[in-house]
Amino acid sequence: MKENISKFVKNADLLVCESSFSSKNSKEAKEHLHLTAEQAGKIAKQAKVQKLILTHISQRYEQNIQELLSDAKKQYKNTTIAKDFDSVELD
């Protein structure tokens, strides 16, 4: 599945990707057909997108959102996490 996503978003200016779980919960992510932040980072890197924004975050990370950001940034540095009412300008 991740390979299909990478092909679909190849060279995109922006990838907004669901990231419901951290890599610590990869088994649970797979069971619920969701991605981990680390997987989202790998997709962004493989697809050579310009920027990755993580969204669809599980409530379990409300107090530790940095865990997800760190997971993704291990794979792809230009990553942020979406917040309500964010706007993004592309170059």
Dump the DSSP string for 17-75.
Answer: EE--B-GGGHHHHHHTT--BHHHHHHHHHHHT-S-EEEES--GGGTT-HHHHHHHHHHH
Question: What was the pLDDT predicted at 90?
Answer: 84
Q: Give the Cα separation of 3 and 59 in Å (integer).
A: 27
The pLDDT tens digits of the residues spanning 43-89 come to 999 999 999 999 999 888 888 899 999 999 999 999 999 998 999 98
Q: For residues 32 and 54, give the distance between their C-alpha atoms in angstroms, rounded to a whole number.
A: 17
Q: According to the model, what pLDDT value does residue 2 have?
A: 61
pLDDT bracket for residue 22 (50, 70, 90):
very high
